[in-house]
Structure 1
Amino acid sequence: MEWLTQMNDALNYIELNLQGTVDFSEVAHIACSSLTRFQRMFTFMTDMTIGDYVKCRKMSLAAEDLKNTDIKVIELALKYGYKSPEAFTRAFQSFHGAPPTVVHKSGISKVFHPISFQIKINGGNMMMGSKPVVQIEELSNLKVVCFQVNCKEPENEAWNQMRKWVVSNLNDYEARRYIGYAPCGHHPESSEEEPHEYVAMMLLYGEEGQNDYISGAKVCDAPKGLFLVGDVVLNEFDDNGNIDIGESMKKSS
């Protein structure tokens, strides 16, 4: 799977740049993704943010430096991209449960190994280790309600249109199945400033898809083929009406 290779290439870039400041935009670029989409996917797959991952790796390596060399705290702070020894010490103690001086003397610290992504197929489910992540399903000859937009942040716009429609017209919208995809790719130029297309769809069942419209929403043919499916819970919105697809998928997996 090409996307899996790209995610691991992004992790390799992080590993090579832990000394200093990791450029998250470059990480996303290597993964052929927008920064927002990469952050959501990383959190979905690891249950931690990319920022927390980088901090854990830096603190793990910093402890090894302390135990094996005579490096000073101020030098460690500069080495791992912290603006001050105080900021570094706070991060270090938060991770290890002890300040740098104690770890240096005792030689006891936590270890956080690098992450790598490996996928295996087991019983029709895609697994991350032993944890089911998403289900693989084949779609064929189905109908959907379709909201397609083309703008700078089309994911939020499309899902907000979908949310307004389902809340107004359905009583069982939380139990429905939803599909979201970008026909031309998510930010093909790796820039979130460029408009692109995005489509939010809800699967229809039985007689619901017999007409061109249902309750004012356009009815379309569902895409055919194999899909990685996660249930998007449509009430996962913040106070501004924005949906976090990654957070919703993580909670319902």
Structure 2
Amino acid sequence: MLERLNEAMDHLERHLDQRVEVADLARIATTSEYHFRRMFSALAGIPLSEYVRRRRLTVAAAEVLAGEATLLDIAVRHGYGSAEAFGRAFRSVHGVGPGEARRTGAALRSQPRMSFRLVVEGSTTMRYRVTDKPDFHLVGRKARVPLVHEGMNPAIVAFVRSIDPETVRRIEALSDQEPAGIVNVSDRLDESRAEGTELDYWHGVVTSAEPPADLDAMPVAAGSWAVFESSGEFPQALQYLWRDVFTEWFPANPYRSRPGPELLRARVSPDGARADAELWIPVERIPA
């Protein structure tokens, strides 16, 4: 998988001065657009679109400083419709406008070309299984919240605390299959997975029961799920589990992620210091 991802990065580099289609990159990497975007963000730490923007403006900066082409020619060559649009983008990355950079020879920022490799530490074992589930309902309460990569998410904490205990008991009583009990669910995330982007957060259960009219509900189609187990410090161990799934497990296994809610069943210790968790990620096998 990583070899094919690096082939896609080579293609991207050769076509920085053209419109880069994610579909082409995904095809080279022999995966879906959805999974390609998620893999890239997990491995690179920035969204694909932001990386492309930074690389283009790094290459453009070298041309600006060389002084051999007009700023408008450089802008058009790198996909900007006007010198003004190019100037705004240039300033957002480099801190100065292209004209000033050319006049003064200002120090500019550079986005290095990326390639990926898998570093095997061998210090931990990722416990997982792949299982098929029939269609089910996700039932509970949901809210739109910002994404937080590390530490507690204040919006989620406030939302969960706002649900009255009787409603929580009613929701939990609907649970009739794995993952059992209350689950924390992430859905409709921004493709970039960038800090501060929004997602639908559910405090609910997985059930085959008919959803009550006064609760939020969503049908989930049948499919395969990869189930990962984790134990450790709360909440860091849970957040690192998501990262490890996309940076370690997917590159080494013949599966890719598919659209769908991600289910987390977490049991936090009484002192709030540790948690045992199961993370359910919707997956599909990569065609041979």
The verdict on a shared fold, with TM-score over 0.5 as the criterion, is yes
Moved more, 82-91 or 59-68: 82-91
1:72-119 CA-to-partner distances (Å, cap 9, x unmatched) read 111011111122222211111111111001111222211110011011
CA contact (8 A) 1:137 1:228 kept: no
1:22 equivalent to 2:20? Answer yes
Which residue is equivalent to 1:171? 181
Quick one: distance in 1 between partners of 2:41 and 2:87?
A: 26
The structural deviation recorded for 1:16 is 0.2
Quick one: distance in 2 between partners of 1:14 and 1:203?
A: 33
CA contact (8 A) 1:19 1:81 kept: yes
**Gap change, CA 1:198 and 1:13, over 3 Å in 2:** farther
1:102-156 CA-to-partner distances (Å, cap 9, x unmatched) read 111222211110011011111345xxxxxxxxx63365xxx96x424xxxxxxxx
Which residue is equivalent to 1:223? none
2:35 aligned partner, one-letter code? R
1:136 aligned partner, one-letter code? M
Q: Percent identity?
A: 23
Quick one: distance in 2 between partners of 1:138 and 1:203?
A: 4
Quick one: distance in 1 between partners of 2:36 and 2:17?
A: 22
With normalisation by structure 1, the TM-score equals: 0.57
**Gap change, CA 1:58 and 1:203, over 3 Å in 2:** closer
Pairing of 1:25-174 with structure 2 (within 5 A)? 25-107=23-105, 108-125=107-124, 136-137=126-127, 146-148=132-134, 161=136, 163-164=138-139, 168-169=174-175, 170-174=180-184
Structure number with the higher helix fraction is: 1
1:176-218 CA-to-partner distances (Å, cap 9, x unmatched) read xxxxxxxxxxxxxxxxxxxxx84136589xxxxxxxxxxxxxx
**Gap change, CA 1:97 and 1:115, over 3 Å in 2:** same
**Gap change, CA 1:94 and 1:122, over 3 Å in 2:** same
With normalisation by structure 2, the TM-score equals: 0.50
- How many pairs align? 168
Quick one: distance in 2 between partners of 1:203 and 1:63?
A: 44
Quick one: distance in 1 between partners of 2:113 and 2:226?
A: 37
**Gap change, CA 1:31 and 1:202, over 3 Å in 2:** closer
User: 1:199 is matched with which residue: 209, 224, 239?
Assistant: 224
Quick one: distance in 1 between partners of 2:224 and 2:35?
A: 15
Structure number with the higher strand fraction is: 2
CA contact (8 A) 2:37 2:48 kept: yes
Quick one: distance in 2 between partners of 1:203 and 1:62?
A: 43
CA contact (8 A) 1:147 1:201 kept: no
Q: What SS does the corresponding residue of 2:101 show, helix, strand or coil?
A: helix
Runs of 5+ in structure 2 lacking a partner? 141-170, 186-221, 230-247, 251-256, 266-280, 283-288
Which residue is equivalent to 2:233? none
User: 2:10 is matched with which residue: 9, 12, 26?
Assistant: 12
Quick one: distance in 2 between partners of 1:72 and 1:81?
A: 15
